[in-house]
Structure 1
Amino acid sequence: MLLALLLAAAAPADGPVIALVKGEGDRQCLPDRSLCLELPATEDGTASAAELIVTSPTEGSSTNAALPAFTDAEKQELWPHLIAVKSDDGAPRYLVGILGRVNAMYSGGGGSATRLHLFEFGTAPGATGLGEEVLNVVWDGSLMIRACFSEEDMKDRLEACHDEYDFKATLTAAPDDGGGLPALTYGSVATSYPRTSKRSEDNSAIKLKRADLVRAQDPTCTYQRVLRYNPATSRYEMDRPAPDCSDYTTP
């Protein structure tokens, strides 16, 4: 419940970050349906085989744009938003997001983590497709680690036999700084359950109390950073370094 409330409070507002709506089939579209995107599942499941299908229902046109290889991802999904970018020539420009997910299974538990990759995306006639990657950030993480190995452990932990770690991020508009690409706010919420759990420590020996059986927010890995585009590097950069939250984001 805590995680849901915190994320709801950070939901995207009106601005350059546009929420896509469901279109025909698996398409995700701009609210006026002038542009739709689809990332179909590939037969072999490899990231390098994926293509982004771009359609304009109002014009009856369709284009396939190849995606870059995601060496760190087992599965790709379309981020259900577009970020509008100012254009000098009047042709709509956006940033499109691709979510790359990795999964891991281990004895008594498992986990997954996702990174958000933002790419420049042009819609000019004859030049529709993806451009350079401008951002690569951690987007979410979910881990469950076994903590009971005996009946005594079960008793000491009040049958809460898994430690759980969750990380969720949001991307919203920041005040306009006049840059070539819009400034953005990256926000994260990290929680653990039980509240005493720390992934870098042995939690199995801790005797839990009923009051510990709640999901607690990690103040270090719950943070906000402003992202600004740096023309010199052709990348978005944070206004200050992010903390190390690999306990939540590395399966």
Structure 2
Amino acid sequence: MIVSLFLAAAAGAFAPASGPVVALVAGEGKSQCLPDHSLCLDVPPAEEGNGAGAVLRISSPGAEAVSLALPEFAEAQSVELWPRLIRAEDGANRYLVGILTGQTSMYSGGGGSASQLHLIELDARPNALRLSGEALDMPWSGSLLIRACFSEKDRKNRLEACHDEYDFGAALAAAPGGAAVFPTLSYRAVATAFPRTSRRSEDNSATKLKRADLVRAQDPACTYDRVLRYDPATSRYELDRPLPDCSDYTTP
């Protein structure tokens, strides 16, 4: 919850009220649309119940709905539509569609989930509907609960806080700077751990906690900002700096 609130406030601070990153609104059924409903999108559940065979369903007034095959997200357990569209700078019915792929894991005394954001280029001209390549693939969310008490001594040492909790969330917004085809973007990630001393890569069960440790705290190594610039030569976004290894938060 703290990650979501922080990112909502952050996005509001550096995203304009209107611009190239457009919030979709509810349409018919489960579809999500541009505010004027000139274009509506949906990702129906795949028959296989995972990432195989997923399609993007596109509809617009006065036209028959069309389904376009999405990339084979073979390892994904879920595929959903990101509720934003990114407009091309020329406004010529070209967009980046966001697709969220998710994975979950369950294990003794805990479990976790995580998602990735994929931006895929969509040519939405009525007579030329098509999906092109993937322009971006970034960690988007993570939430893990890991058992940390295995004895009465552990319970006492940890002051009854018998689970470690790890959360990760990201926000994407338009950023200042020169744009080529698609806008420059700001990516902000926030990672938190509870108790504040916990690290997933370490054995925390024997750690003797203090009352002051029983708070959720940001992990500075995995709380960061990046600038993404679109490269027309590769049709992909390039990072201004590499990402840190935050798989402790983004791999369930």
Provide TM-score, normalisation by structure 2: 0.94
| 2-structure distance, mates of 1:15, 1:220 | 31
Q: Does 1:31 align with 2:41?
A: no
> For 1:1-251, what aligned pairs fall within 5 Å after superposition?
2-11=2-11, 12-13=15-16, 14-56=18-60, 58-87=61-90, 91-251=92-252
| 2-structure distance, mates of 1:146, 1:240 | 34
How far residue 2 of structure 1 moved from its aligned partner, in angstroms, is 3.8
Secondary structure of the corresponding residue to residue 222 of structure 2:
coil
Give 5+ residue unaligned stretches, structure 2: none
How far residue 118 of structure 1 moved from its aligned partner, in angstroms, is 0.4
How far residue 140 of structure 1 moved from its aligned partner, in angstroms, is 0.9
Give 5+ residue unaligned stretches, structure 1: none
Root-mean-square deviation (CA), in Å? 1.4
How far residue 233 of structure 1 moved from its aligned partner, in angstroms, is 2.4
Secondary structure of the corresponding residue to residue 214 of structure 1:
coil
Deviation sequence 1:100-148 (CA, Å, 0-9, x none): 1111111211111111110000111222131111101111111111100
| 1-structure distance, mates of 2:4, 2:232 | 36
Provide TM-score, normalisation by structure 1: 0.94
| 1-structure distance, mates of 2:50, 2:188 | 30
| 1-structure distance, mates of 2:92, 2:68 | 18
1:70 is aligned with what amino acid? F
Q: Percent identity?
A: 62
Farther-moved stretch of structure 1 (11-20 vs 217-226):
11-20
| 2-structure distance, mates of 1:215, 1:163 | 10
| 1-structure distance, mates of 2:103, 2:4 | 23
Q: Is the 8 A contact 2:97 2:121 kept in 1?
A: yes
How many positions carry a matched residue from both structures? Answer: 248
